[in-house]
């Protein structure tokens, strides 16, 4: 099993994905353990002083004015975890919780939080045992971090609440810890607060979204190329010279991908005999690189934000290198929230243009010779009419999901926390949007491949042929009489989601950008 070693200087997107999705083990480096011990010594020294220090010897949020005596501080730390574990609604996905826990451990390992080494080791042990605390959909405002989600994770470290074991069975967390030989932690000064105070949930979802979108944008370039072929469009608009004079890197990459897929095609160039000459294709075909490219450039900005956040130590207060313990606002999720919303907007537009190409394939007045709805016997057969309805419904929801969560704020904690990011909400809706985008691309793939196969006597590009053959081998049927469509669409959805469309094409085209 792969092992990810955490030091003091952050981690990588691939490490997050390996731990969250692939169960990689987590270890603390010697450097991290030393940094943890050094920061804890600073907290212990402050805890021994009579002067109040926020998070060490005071209450929290609007209750920070109360100085807490020594004998009540362990109770204070337990109480903050218990009271903040107030999430509601459905459970979030296992991979999200694992990313959340790993990223909180990343910040703890930085040596800026004052958490003891043994608490950090317990966090790693819980991850390595495959124990996943129950975290709920609702509870985070994305400021003071993802408080409720992180609290549910901290609660499991204390042996309280419920968690899922490696076998998928839900049990009391204390039972699962005991079964794996893990002792529950007894939290000391500042540790409860340090386990709750981060952007870890929204950041984990951002990193996984970027990985998923990387595959989906390549898939969308492929389906756009297939639609261009099925519509007998021209590939001349994809020439690199045209994209060099508008130097957006994402646009150039998308055009190059489409051109690579179309290489050797016998369907391009407006060559349908007997049809009135076409000067140019519709926007949904001609402008595919511009739309997909803008999304790629949005992703590039989002990656930059994610990389900066991965290098960050997000907590309040923090232990600085010079020994000071300083309050700050670094837990505010605005940087992450904004890009989560940007990505949802870009994904909605990509889904929208894909749906317009699908609709064009199904309309006999605009498809340049294809049968109505790509049906075998139009009128007796409905073909893909309702597949496009489903796609349109998904696009409509994508547009609603593109409304920014980060444009909202709602005050909390008796107006102490009076401006919040709503970044967790932005991340949750982006996950839904990505699932919808995958389905939209799958419907375009289903329609475009059928359209190409209905062009009898014309030869598709070798890359297109490879995509069609792989899709048919996956059990997705080609042209023919009406059949129960939902299983075909589900199989196409799984085909795209697993990256099999990209995998089918790249041996012909070479790696897509």
Cα 91 from Cα 338, distance rounded (Å) = 24
Instruction: Name the phi and psi angles at 58, rounded to 5.
Output: -130, 170
Q: Token match 């969560």: residue?
A: 405
Find all residues with CB under 8 Å of 37, minimum gap 6, and list them. Answer: 116, 117
6, β-bridge pairs = 28
Q: Are 353 and 395 in contact, with CB atoms under 8 Å apart?
A: no
Active site residue 217: no
Q: At what angle do helices 423-453 and 334-362 cross, to 10 degrees?
A: 20
Rounded CA gap, 56 and 433, in Å? 41
- The rounded distance, in Å, linking the Cα atoms of 492 and 478 is 12
54, 217, 283, 338: which is the annotated catalytic residue?
A: 54
Which of 432, 426, 433 lies closest to 408 in space, CA to CA?
A: 426
385/424 Cα distance (integer angstroms):
37
Helical residues (DSSP H) of 23-72, grouped into ranges: 30-47
Q: How far, in Å, CA of 182 to CA of 244, rounded?
A: 58
Structure tokens at 339: 């890009």
Q: What is the C-alpha to C-alpha distance for residues 101 and 51, in angstroms, rounded to an integer? A: 32
Helix (H) or strand (E) holding 26: strand 25-28
**Torsion region of 197: left, alpha or beta (phi above 0 gives left; psi -120 to 50 gives alpha):** beta
- Please state, in angstroms and rounded to a whole number, the distance separating the CA atoms of residues 346 and 139: 27
Judge whether 97 and 13 are in contact, CB under 8 Å.
no
Residues annotated catalytic, as ranges: 54
């Amino acid at each position: 099993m792969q092992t990810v070693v955490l030091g003091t200087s952050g981690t990588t997107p691939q490490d997050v994905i390996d731990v969250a999705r692939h169960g990689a083990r987590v270890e603390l480096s010697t450097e991290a353990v030393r940094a943890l011990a050094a920061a804890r010594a600073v907290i212990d020294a402050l805890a021994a002083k009579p002067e109040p220090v926020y998070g060490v010897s005071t209450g929290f949020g609007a209750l920070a004015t109360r100085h807490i005596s020594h004998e009540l501080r362990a109770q204070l730390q337990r109480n903050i975890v218990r009271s903040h574990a107030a999430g509601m609604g459905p459970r979030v996905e296992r991979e999200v919780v694992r990313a959340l826990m790993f990223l909180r451990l990343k910040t703890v390992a930085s040596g800026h939080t004052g958490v003891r080494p043994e608490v950090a080791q317990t966090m790693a042990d819980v991850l390595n045992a495959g124990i996943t605390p129950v975290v709920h959909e609702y509870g985070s405002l994305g400021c003071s971090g993802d408080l409720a989600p992180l609290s549910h994770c901290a609660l499991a470290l204390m042996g309280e609440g419920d968690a899922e074991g490696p076998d998928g069975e839900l049990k009391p967390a204390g039972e699962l810890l005991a079964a794996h030989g893990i002792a529950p932690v007894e939290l000391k000064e500042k540790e409860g607060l340090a386990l709750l105070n981060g952007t870890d949930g929204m950041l984990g979802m951002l990193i996984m979204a970027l990985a998923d979108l990387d595959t989906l944008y390549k898939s969308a370039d492929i389906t756009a190329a297939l639609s261009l072929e099925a519509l007998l469009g021209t590939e001349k608009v994809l020439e690199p010279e045209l994209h060099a004079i508008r130097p957006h890197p994402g646009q150039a990459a998308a055009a190059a991908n489409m051109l690579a897929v179309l290489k050797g095609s016998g369907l391009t160039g407006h060559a349908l005999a007997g049809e009135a000459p076409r000067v140019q294709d519709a926007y949904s075909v001609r402008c595919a690189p511009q739309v997909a490219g803008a999304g790629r450039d949005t992703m590039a900005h989002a990656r930059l934000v994610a990389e900066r956040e991965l290098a960050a130590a997000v907590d309040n207060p923090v232990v600085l290198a010079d020994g000071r313990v300083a309050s700050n606002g670094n837990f505010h999720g605005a940087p992450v929230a904004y890009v989560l919303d940007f990505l949802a907007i870009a994904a909605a537009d990509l889904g929208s243009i894909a749906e317009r190409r699908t609709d064009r394939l199904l309309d006999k007045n605009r498809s340049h010779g294809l049968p109505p709805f790509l049906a075998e016997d139009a009128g007796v057969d409905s073909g893909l009419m309702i597949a496009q309805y489903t796609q349109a419904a998904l696009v409509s929801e994508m547009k609603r999901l593109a409304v920014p969560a980060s444009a909202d704020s709602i005050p909390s904690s008796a107006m102490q926390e009076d401006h919040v990011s709503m970044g967790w909400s932005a991340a949750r809706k982006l996950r839904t949007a990505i699932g919808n985008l995958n389905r939209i691309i799958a419907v375009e793939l289903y329609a475009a491949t059928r359209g190409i196969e209905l062009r009898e006597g014309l030869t598709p590009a070798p890359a297109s042929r490879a995509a069609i053959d792989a899709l048919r081998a996956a059990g997705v049927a080609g042209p023919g009489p009406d059949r129960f469509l939902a299983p075909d669409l589900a199989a196409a959805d799984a085909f795209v989601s697993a990256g099999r469309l990209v995998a089918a094409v790249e041996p012909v085209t070479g790696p897509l950008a």
